[in-house]
Amino acid sequence: MNGTTPYRIPSSLRDLVMLDLLELTGSTTATADLLTMSQPSVSRRYRSVARDLGLTRQSDAPLGRRFADAPWIPYLRRGINHHRLAGGVLRIGSGRALEAAFTGVPWAHWIRLGRQQQEQWQPLLSLELLDAIAVEEVPELSAEVAASLALVEVRSARNGAVVLICRRDPLVLEICSRVCGWMELP
């Protein structure tokens, strides 16, 4: 990545990334928007991938495990994430209010999260579905949870200071140190 061109999902990884986006958004419509596909195409592609990989949609499963909960999915996800992170791009999620801070930023693959996903962001980080969650105020965190995270302050012309709560992955932290400096959680 050259620093000015937004990250583009390689076509050979699109179906696997689609699984993550379905987990993150909970919606074929929102996933279609992120992938610049039609909603029927996403539904059709999901059915095909699910059939090929032996996946079953489980609406009553915990967040992050509804579309692709197989024991080997985390290995695929790590590989795909590594490809994106090696390109210098973080997958960041939050609500509509902070979207303007990251839209068009070349090092950020922005995911608009629904209310449920915003409230239950910790599993999205621990499952490596997101690299960071954007917040205006840092929520109170247990010592155990805080130990697995890093705080990053990002300056935005539209939103002022925005804080990223990042997972402690070496590539995530490297990108954070390069683009905005980072600090430890207290």
- pLDDT, residue 131, reads 96
The string of pLDDT tens digits covering residues 42-59 is 999 999 999 999 999 999
The string of pLDDT tens digits covering residues 123-148 is 999 999 999 999 988 888 888 888 88
What is the model's pTM? 0.87
Provide the edge-to-edge strand list for the sheet that holds 160-167. Answer: 108-112, 90-94, 132-135, 160-167, 149-156
More confident residue, 179 or 124: 124
Q: Which of 79-83, 148-152, 166-170 has the lowest mean pLDDT?
A: 148-152
- pLDDT, residue 93, reads 94
- pLDDT, residue 157, reads 60
DSSP assignment of 38-106 equals -HHHHHHHHHHHHHHHT----TTSPTT-SS---TTHHHHHHHHHHHHHHTT-EEEEE-GGGHHHHTT-T
The answer to whether residue 184 scores a pLDDT higher than 80 is: no
Q: In this structure, are residues 100 and 162 in contact, taking their beta carbons and an 8 Å threshold?
A: no
- pLDDT, residue 154, reads 82
Domain ranges of the chain: 11-70, 77-179
CATH classification for the domain delimited by 77-179, as one of 3.40.190, 3.40.50, 3.30.530, 1.10.10: 3.40.190
- pLDDT, residue 183, reads 54
